[in-house]
Amino acid sequence: MIKQNKGKAILSSVMTLLPMVFGLIVWNQLPDPMPMHWGVSGEVDGYAGRAWVVFGLPLVLLALQWLCLLVTAHDPKNKHQTAKAQGLIWWIVPYVSLFVNVLVYTTALGHTINGVTWGALFMGLLFAVIGNYMPKCKQNYTLGIKISWTLNDEGNWNATHRFAGKIWVAGGLVMLLCALLPTTAAVIALLVLLFVLVLLPFLYSYRYYKTH
Residue pair 71/143 in contact by the 8 Å Cβ criterion: no
Confidence of residue 167 (pLDDT cuts 50, 70, 90): very high
The total number of residues shown for the chain amounts to 212
Comparing C-alpha atoms, which of 130, 146, 142, 121 is closest to residue 88? 130
Res. 166: pLDDT tops 80: yes
Phi, psi of 147 (to 5 degrees): -125, 165
Q: Give how far Cα 179 sits from Cα of 21, 87, 99, Å.
A: 30, 27, 16
Comparing C-alpha atoms, which of 91, 99, 95, 97 is closest to residue 72? 91
- pLDDT tens track for 88-107: 888 899 999 999 999 999 99
- pLDDT tens track for 34-61: 998 888 888 888 899 999 999 999 999 9
- Exposed / middle / buried, residue 91 (Cβ in 10 Å: 0-12, 13-18, 19+): middle
- pLDDT tens track for 148-162: 999 999 999 999 999
Asked, as a colleague might, if the bond just before 33 is cis with ω within 30 of 0, I would say: yes
Rounded CA-CA distance 104/99 in Å is 9
Which 3 state secondary structure label does DSSP give 42?
A: coil
Residues 101-122 have a mean pLDDT of 91
The pTM score is: 0.84
